[in-house]
């Protein structure tokens, strides 16, 4: 049986080594998260300020998995959305 997963919206604060990101949840709690699924497979570039969907395990609420982005996706190659 799979454990219940809480999926919440968060904001990327900083990029850390080894594909880790520090994100801030809507309740101002900071957690470490790593990209999974299509975010990792499509080399989505995450930058500070980006809104993402984070899945939190009920066993350890200080770590999570980035399962998607909210809004625009920044591809690893090509022009940046700032231009």
pLDDT at position 77 = 44
* Token pair of 60 as six digits: 């350890």
pLDDT at position 5 = 76
Is 53 inside any structural domain?
A: yes
Q: How many domains does the chain have?
A: 1
Is 19 inside any structural domain?
A: yes
Distances (CA, A) of 21 to 16, 28, 57: 5, 15, 16
The CATH number given to whatever domain includes residue 63 is 2.40.50.140
6 close to 55: Cβ distance less than 8 angstroms:
yes
pLDDT digits (tens, 9 = 90+) for 12-52: 999 999 999 999 999 999 999 999 988 888 888 899 999 99
pLDDT at position 3 = 64
Domain that holds residue 49: 6-69
59 close to 48: Cβ distance less than 8 angstroms:
no
Rounded to two decimals, the pTM is: 0.77
């Amino acid at each position: 049986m799979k454990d219940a997963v809480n999926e919440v919206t968060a904001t990327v604060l900083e990029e850390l080594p080894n594909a880790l990101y520090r994100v801030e949840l809507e309740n101002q709690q900071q957690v470490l998260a790593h990209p999974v699924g299509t975010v990792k497979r499509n080399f989505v570039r995450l930058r500070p300020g980006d809104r993402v969907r984070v899945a939190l395990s009920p066993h350890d609420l200080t770590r999570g998995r980035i399962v998607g982005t909210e809004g625009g996706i920044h591809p690893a190659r090509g022009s940046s959305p700032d231009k």
